[in-house]
Amino acid sequence: METSNYGYEPNKRVYDAIYANFPDKKQADTIIFVFKQALSEQKEFIKQTINNNIQEIIYHLKAELGQELSTKKDLEVVRVVIEKEIAELKTELEKRFSRLDKKVDNSKTELKEDIIAVENRLNEKITSVDIRLTRVEEKIEGLEDKVDRLDTKIDNVRTELKEDINEKFQTLDKKIDTLFQTLDKKIDTLLSSNFNDKIGAFKFKIIAWIGGSIIIGFGLLGSMLKFFH
């Protein structure tokens, strides 16, 4: 197999097919020569397609010739048949590529639409999460405000209780002072009236009354302290 001076070099499959269908070497060499000329300026995928479809092309070529090559006219027939086959293959390939391009374009469009749809859904989800987070933050802030208000109320209650307890202690001290002052006056009155026989009984009643009042006062104070501790 000689190296071609053209832009197309048939592969072994093409050579084998031509020599098998055209036993006359001169005739086969002529057909190969025409193939090289016809395909020299074609794109690579056209050349590969011719290589892959060589049996079909040879079938059409033999049907057109019907005899051995003997004249220039026969050579022109070979050229016409080969160029026709090339043109038909190019047309078919262009149609296929056109359909493929449309499919690719449609796929790109669908893919873009799918991507946009996914992005929109993702953005919606993100927005929904942001809204929920904002609500949670607002609830947390609300709880913190409630806790602060509760702490303030507790502090106010403690302050009020302390003030109330101090006030009650002061009141109790005043009552005790008043009670002893009254007792002193009554004792002085009894002494001045010479009721010596009633002093013992009166003192006992007074002491019992004072003791009872003090016990009641301290019992009330103890209950209040237990309640607020």
Q: Where are the domains of the chain?
A: 12-105, 153-228
**Integer Cα distance of 192 and 207 in angstroms:** 20
What mean pLDDT is predicted for residues 157-180?
Answer: 83
pTM of the model: 0.39
Summarize pLDDT for 169-222 with one digit per residue, the tens: 888 888 888 888 888 787 777 666 655 555 556 666 677 677 776 777 666 666
Q: Residue 126 to residues 114, 120, 132, 177: CA-CA distances in angstroms?
A: 18, 10, 10, 76
- Distance between CA 140 and CA 119 in Å, rounded? 31
Which residue has better confidence, 213 or 67? 213
Nearest in space to 73 (alpha carbons), one of 41, 30, 107, 105: 30
Mean pLDDT of 23-28: 81
Percent of the chain with pLDDT over 70: 76
Which residues make Cβ contacts (< 8 Å) with residue 30, sequence separation at least 6?
69, 75, 78
